[in-house]
Amino acid sequence: MGEYLKDALKDFTFDMACGAAIRHLMELGYSEEEMLSRLDFPISAEKLHEAVIKYSKEAENGNDSSSDQYEMILEYDEYGHRSYRRVPLEK
């Protein structure tokens, strides 16, 4: 099996297994640290960060089915913790 196909299968498997949970926590505004503590499956901080960036970009680029109604906002709290918040677009 070629490397391209292996990578595509690995990405597909990860997205099917973990993608919905990560997207859901992102929509609720959880930081990556909070997501790591709440997820029931093992995932490294680096892999979670990559997924958050990927899903945020997809939402911004219109690959998300509801992206025409919402946008992802990156915020920092007073302690420097990063979190994403999904906010409705103003019309």
What is the per-residue pLDDT across 7-40, written as a single tens digit (0 to 9) for each? 889 889 888 888 889 998 988 889 999 999 999 8
- The length of the chain in residues reads 91
Are 59 and 89 spatial neighbours (Cβ–Cβ below 8 Å)? Answer: no
Q: What is the domain count for the chain? A: 1
More confident call, 64 vs 48: 48
Residue 35: what pLDDT? 93
Give the residue with greater pLDDT, 86 vs 78: 78
Cβ 74 vs Cβ 57: under 8 Å: no
Q: Indicate whether 88 pLDDT > 60.
A: yes
CATH number at residue 31: 1.10.10.10
Show the domain range for 41.
3-88
